[in-house]
Copies of this chain bind each other. A is one copy, B any other.
């Protein structure tokens, strides 16, 4: 149906690629570059030549199908080489990744990176350097592995207005929560299983405490709202406190617990809220069916309506696929002598604190089975201006329970309400507190 692309101006030599890092992702990037050489040449308009691979220690990486002479332990010398056109950074972490990327950009190279932590902490510096030299800095692989997210948000929705982004962007925590829901296992058991299966690190902190998701939330929010958002701007709660009781309470109301990265426009359109926390979502919500270690990002925009992007959020091959998609684009831009669309911060909206963000809570209470309990509980909510959507009274005597779902209220009013509930004489115990998302705004 479509025609061969017009021959782009051929450069007099192939484009030279420097690879920083040759671990799980890096070695897959090498393999694909070598395997699909001809395809890349056809798609780019010029051959891509692997010119050097920076590794921490030499003598290893024998499994990678390239001339061993390409390996070097001097990454700084590699990115400064005059003949390097394209630099792929898959080392991760802040340093030396940052100084290497800055050196590469300063050297006039286009850069493709998968480094979410660096982008979410100091992306501004990197993008400024890219602008200064008029080169490309692409980062599709930084969020959602192989799932095309950056490009759709930056380009496909450029004619639209994004209102909300709801993402399952951490496979480890989704695996754990999925197991807790489907197998009824505890958090500890599910985490152990994830570690045995290689879905979780020996030190799972970055995943289970939501740091990884917060970095990705910052990147998504920045793109969706043309506003600079840092990981440190993101309200972050992990899943270590999610109990079997929470999971059961969710099930009881037809919901499932997911760790969500949420970025949304304030009602007045003047600010954004960006947060990562576990939340109950209805089982019929498209995100509810995202199982195991898969990722998905759900986008609500003014014209497009609801969109969802689903796929493998991590792993060597998926991440390499995203890296190479970017590499083809920046290489092609280079052949044409242009830059791709840079993400922008022209809107520069204010990032609202969590306390001001409207949320809804699901709260389960063990109460004393006596007259006036419901009244005293209802008063606690009303004193903080929180309106109740539903109250379910369950059990009698020692098992008497109240399950409350609120309407939207500023998060600080809801947390204050919970504190007050904990002190009420009529309340024996607050057994489950969790935010509810995906029910619509009310």
Query: Given the known A-B contacts A1-B124, A6-B134, are A344 and B42 also in contact in the complex, defined by CB atoms under 8 Å?
Result: yes
Cβ–Cβ < 8 Å partners of A230 in chain B = 1
Q: How many residues of A contact B (CB 8 A)?
A: 81
A338 adjacent to chain B (CB < 8 Å) = yes
Cross-interface CB contact of A1 among B219, B311, B329, cutoff 8 Å: B219
Given contacts A5-B343, A151-B156, A336-B338, 20 further A-B contacts (CB under 8 A): A1-B229, A1-B230, A1-B345, A2-B123, A2-B222, A2-B342, A3-B124, A5-B344, A6-B342, A32-B159, A43-B344, A155-B325, A156-B325, A303-B317, A303-B321, A303-B324, A304-B322, A306-B310, A329-B341, A338-B338
- Nearest B residue to A38 by beta-carbon distance? B346
User: Which of A119, A161, A286, A345 has the most chain B CB atoms inside 10 A of its CB?
Assistant: A286
Is B4's CB under 8 angstroms from A157's CB? no
Is A2's CB under 8 angstroms from B312's CB? no
A228 adjacent to chain B (CB < 8 Å) = yes
A289 adjacent to chain B (CB < 8 Å) = yes
Cα-based distance from A311 to B310 in the complex (angstroms): 11
Is B312's CB under 8 angstroms from A310's CB? no
Cβ–Cβ < 8 Å partners of A151 in chain B = 148, 151-152, 155-156
Cβ–Cβ < 8 Å partners of A346 in chain B = 4, 42
Write the A148-173 contact mask toward B (1 if CB under 8 angstroms, else 0).
10011001111111000000000000
- Nearest B residue to A122 by beta-carbon distance? B1
Pull 9 A–B residue pairs with CB atoms less than 8 Å apart, ordered by A: A40-B159, A156-B325, A159-B328, A303-B317, A303-B318, A305-B312, A305-B315, A307-B310, A338-B338
How distant is A199 from chain B, measured CB to nearest CB, in Å? 15
Write the A1-17 contact mask toward B (1 if CB under 8 angstroms, else 0).
11111100000000000
A308 adjacent to chain B (CB < 8 Å) = yes
Is B157's CB under 8 angstroms from A321's CB? yes
Write the A328-354 contact mask toward B (1 if CB under 8 angstroms, else 0).
110010001111011111100000000
- Nearest B residue to A342 by beta-carbon distance? B5
Write the A131-156 contact mask toward B (1 if CB under 8 angstroms, else 0).
10010000010000111100110011
